[in-house]
Chains A and B, each alone.
Chain A
């Protein structure tokens, strides 16, 4: 688990943490049932305040990503597969639209971009 806090980011710290944790759960780096560090422990390691990490966890709990079991700790919750798929599709769409933007900037034709995508797709398979 890797969390990096950027002081120069316009996003508040609690959001940077919940975004990164959410990302790890969507990509599967964190799996259902995985234990997370306690809010106090995470705050200590990241050298930030307890209330900040508490807020990140609370947001993720509200979204259904995390689950706190009294006395035991915080765990990655059972995930709604459809929901996660939707999230992942959104990520793919975003990355593709970035690629399209770049291609347009270079003046690439749609067919050329498609060729590139085909080649890449075959390669990974």
Chain B
């Protein structure tokens, strides 16, 4: 039983949006990047995992337990960071911490203080006086201070500068030195994931486009550039997200399909996650 997260056929419908029969899983000891454009369903999925929303159908297991029946036991072992601040704005950092700490059976005050000093968080400052980035640092400090086995981070890097984002990646690398820990990390800043993620799950329009090892994904696709003259209908149908201009075309291509270009002059490049996301969305 090595799956930390198991999502099976989960559907949730709102007015104007449907999370449609999604399934994916995360193995113990790894980092999964959860990517997709704004409004694709990342936050909805995370809210369903955290049982903050009720699913219409399907099931979600965390640590092998049902996420709504065993919610309390599960949440004790999860460190989470949401995109929006969910703290009492009028309290100080220390007071807020004092309220949160008793909810966790393995709260570690020493660790919290350590993160506060690393992150430059002043205990007597009121939450409402913290900048967006500093609020994020506070919620990271909380998430990292109760020996959680699973970190769920929803867009943790969106309000942070590149220097701190880099530091956060180092912290996550340090966390994952313990092979019993796992991280689910949603973002649309894919460069953060480019190196650190073991798995990538891409969601678009409420559907999972792919969920696989990052290395496998990046090896299976190539960016192809060439003269638009070679784009017959047949060839075009094998490509993803074709973009044409008067100088030529660019598209994403599965390596298996690459042989249709064997007699043409083309340029191939390794795609980045960001390019994969953009091209697959334009398909």
Contact = CB atoms under 8 A, between A and B. Distances in A.
Nearest to A5: B195
Nearest to B219: A12
A12 B214 CA distance: 12
B177 A49 contact: no
Given A13-B215, A14-B215, A40-B179, A49 B174 contact: no
Interface in B90-143: none
A44 B174 contact: yes
A50 interface: yes
A13 B176 CA distance: 20
B239 interface: no
B31 A49 contact: yes
Nearest to A52: B215
Nearest to B268: A10
B177 A40 contact: yes
Contact of B196 (A13, A14, A49): A49
A41 interface: yes
A49 B219 contact: no
Contact of A51 (B179, B214, B270): B214
Given A12-B219, A55-B215, A49 B179 contact: no
B30 interface: yes
A44 B215 contact: no
Chain B contact-residue range equals 20 to 34
B173 interface: yes
Max chain A C-beta neighbours (<10 A), residue from B174, B197, B215, B219: B215
A64 B31 CA distance: 29
A47 interface: yes
Chain A contact-residue range equals 10 to 19
B215 A49 contact: yes
A120 B169 CA distance: 50
Interface in B21-45: 29-31
B198 interface: yes
A48 interface: yes
B57 interface: no
Nearest to A48: B195
B195 to A, nearest CB: 5
A24 interface: no
A123 B169 CA distance: 51
B213 interface: yes
Contacts of A50: 29-31, 176, 198
A43 interface: yes
A44 B174 CA distance: 7
B198 A51 contact: yes
Nearest to B174: A44
A50 B31 CA distance: 8
Nearest to B166: A47
Given A49-B196, A49-B197, A50-B30, A43 B173 contact: yes
Interface of A: 10, 12-14, 40-41, 43-44, 47-52, 55
Interface of B: 29-31, 169, 173-174, 176-177, 179, 195-199, 213-215, 218-219, 270
5 contacts: A40-B179, A44-B173, A49-B31, A49-B197, A52-B215
Given A47-B173, A51-B198, 15 more contacts: A12-B215, A12-B218, A12-B219, A40-B177, A41-B177, A43-B176, A44-B174, A44-B177, A48-B196, A49-B197, A50-B29, A51-B199, A51-B213, A52-B198, A55-B215
